[in-house]
């Protein structure tokens, strides 16, 4: 009996080992990771903020969360004139660092088309990873160790999905806000192209958001959707952004350009103007479809499309929308890759890679990557600053 039980257990053990040998490589191929080593400071709310809201046309109320779970939490708040330059500070619990910046409540939308001879560095899908984002910019000489802009008059493109799936969404968004101001002072440009997860947060889909922000909203007497509503400074700022831009002949979108987009008689500025009017409306199929439905579809829309990697497209289909916009290539995030790669004879560059998380570790772990464009040359840029021609 004992010998039979041992044989049975060995059989089960070998079977499970065999199954794991198959499942683990498949899981890694599909992007699965094992999460471990959660850092308790992820739920340190002391100094969390700022959360800034328009009380009316002339007043902005800026709130910070203070305290801890044991002693209790409280809110500090101060009101400012909307015309003021409001001093603000962001605290990052992981390493107890902080950065200062100025809130400027008035918003203007950026241009849609840029033409010059400057460098372009693009990175995508940071997913609330402030530490990885900050370190990548330092190592690639966009900012120095004091977070000061040193990238001159060049372009930094942030290709969407910088929110959700992490505990540092507020830190990441205000950091981008700060980078925009710093770049402008040095003649540079930060392009924050909205991804589908920024849009989700704007129209109230918080499924991928950390539970932390449910607590944050409650503490400041708001709902989670109000964190990014038009009555919040961050929401109003997000609502001013584009979902498609052309920079030096390259199209930047989070998802992609569906081939049928070539038939839509709209320019890039017109597309952005239309899409900004839809940011607070969840996409859903309609019976009476307008031709513009293509732009906001959760399958074919430019912030959602995955066809380059999921469909059997011809080279001609890839090039049709590029020809419409007189573009050399399209750069996209949204669909994860193991490394920054080019597809379709260099007409498509995919830059969504796995980045390290702030408050836990992953196995397997990956380094951040981005794309550098110098004229007609494209380079895969590693976290260390190494550039590899594509």
pLDDT tens across 267-293, in order?
A: 999 999 999 999 999 988 877 778 889
Q: What is the pLDDT of residue 331?
A: 98
Q: What is the pLDDT of residue 42?
A: 87
% of residues, the chain, pLDDT over 70: 90
Opening angle at CA 368, ends 29 and 224, nearest 5:
90
Stretch 383-390: mean pLDDT? 95
Q: Residue 159: which residues within 8 A CB-CB, separation 6 or more?
A: 122, 123, 124, 125, 193, 195, 252, 253, 254, 331, 332, 333, 351, 352
Residue 252 to residue 131: CA distance in whole angstroms: 24
% of residues, the chain, pLDDT over 90: 81
Place of tokens 């919040």: 232
Stretch 303-315: mean pLDDT? 96
Q: Residue 90: which residues within 8 A CB-CB, separation 6 or more?
A: 49, 50, 98, 99, 101, 170, 171, 174, 175
Closest CA to 118 of 186, 64, 48, 52: 186
Q: What is the pLDDT of residue 23?
A: 44
Q: What is the pLDDT of residue 27?
A: 42
Six-digit token string for 100: 């200062």
Q: In whole numbers, what is the pLDDT of the chain averaged over residues?
A: 91
Place of tokens 């910046």: 101
DSSP H helices, the chain, are 2-29, 130-139, 169-185, 196-203, 212-219, 233-239, 268-276, 293-296, 307-310, 315-324
Place of tokens 């958001």: 209
Q: What is the pLDDT of residue 246?
A: 98
Residue 302 has pLDDT above 50, yes or no: yes
Residue 74 has pLDDT above 50, yes or no: yes
Q: Counting every residue, how long is the chain?
A: 390
Query: 39-78: b or e for each residue (b if 16 or more CB lie within 10 Å)?
Result: eeebbbbebbbbbbbbeeeeebbbbbbebeeeeeeeeeee
Q: What is the pLDDT of residue 9?
A: 55
What are the tens digits of pLDDT across the range 167-203? 999 999 999 999 999 999 999 999 999 999 999 999 9
Burial class of residue 232, CB neighbours in 10 A (0-12, 13-18, 19+): buried
Q: pLDDT tier at 41 (50, 70, 90 boundaries)? A: confident
Say if CB 352 and CB 273 are below 8 A apart. no
Opening angle at CA 345, ends 190 and 316, nearest 5:
100
Q: What is the pLDDT of residue 152?
A: 97
Half-sphere exposure of 200 (CA within 13 A, CB side): 17
Stretch 220-240: mean pLDDT? 96
Q: What is the pLDDT of residue 1?
A: 57
Q: What is the pLDDT of residue 12?
A: 52
Residue 249 has pLDDT above 70, yes or no: yes
Residue 251 to residue 261: CA distance in whole angstroms: 13
Q: What is the pTM of this model?
A: 0.92
Q: What is the pLDDT of residue 40?
A: 85
What are the tens digits of pLDDT across the range 324-342? 999 999 999 999 999 999 9
Q: What is the pLDDT of residue 360?
A: 76
Stretch 122-129: mean pLDDT? 97
Residue 118 has pLDDT above 90, yes or no: yes
């Amino acid at each position: 009996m004992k010998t039979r039980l041992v044989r049975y257990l060995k059989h089960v053990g070998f079977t499970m080992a065999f199954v794991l040998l198959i499942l683990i490589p498949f899981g890694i191929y599909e992007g699965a990771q094992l999460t471990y080593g959660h850092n308790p400071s992820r739920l340190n709310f002391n100094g969390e903020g700022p959360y800034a809201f328009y009380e009316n046309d002339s007043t902005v109320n800026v709130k910070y969360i203070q305290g801890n779970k044991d002693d209790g939490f409280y809110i500090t708040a101060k009101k400012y004139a909307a015309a003021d330059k409001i001093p603000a500070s962001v605290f990052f619990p992981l390493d107890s660092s902080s950065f200062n910046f100025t809130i400027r409540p008035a918003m203007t939308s950026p241009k849609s088309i840029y033409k010059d001879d400057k460098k372009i560095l693009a990175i995508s899908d940071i997913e609330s990873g402030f530490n990885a984002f900050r370190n990548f910019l330092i190592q690639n000489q966009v900012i120095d160790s004091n977070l000061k802009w040193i990238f001159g008059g060049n372009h930094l493109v942030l290709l969407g999905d910088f929110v959700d799936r992490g505990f540092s969404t507020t830190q990441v968004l205000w950091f981008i806000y700060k980078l925009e101001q710093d770049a402008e002072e040095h003649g540079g440009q930060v392009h924050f192209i909205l991804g589908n997860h920024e849009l989700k947060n704007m129209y109230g889909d918080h499924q991928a958001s950390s539970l932390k922000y449910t607590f944050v909203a409650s503490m400041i007497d708001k709902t989670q959707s109000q964190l990014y509503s038009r009555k919040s400074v961050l929401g109003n700022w997000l609502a001013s952004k584009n979902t498609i831009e052309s920079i030096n002949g390259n199209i930047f979108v989070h998802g992609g350009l569906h081939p049928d987009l070539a038939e839509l008689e709209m320019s890039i500025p017109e597309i952005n103007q239309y899409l900004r009017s839809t940011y607070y409306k969840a996409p859903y199929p309609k019976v009476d479809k307008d031709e513009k439905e293509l732009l906001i579809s959760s399958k074919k829309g430019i912030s959602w499309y995955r066809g380059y990697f999921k469909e059997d497209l011809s080279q001609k289909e890839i090039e049709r929308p590029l020809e419409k916009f007189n573009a050399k290539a399209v750069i996209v995030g949204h669909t994860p890759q193991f490394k920054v790669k080019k597809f379709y004879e260099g007409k498509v560059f995919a830059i969504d890679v796995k980045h390290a998380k702030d408050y836990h570790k992953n196995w397997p772990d990956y380094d951040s990557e981005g794309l550098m464009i110098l004229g007609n040359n494209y380079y895969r840029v590693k976290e260390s600053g190494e550039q590899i021609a594509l």
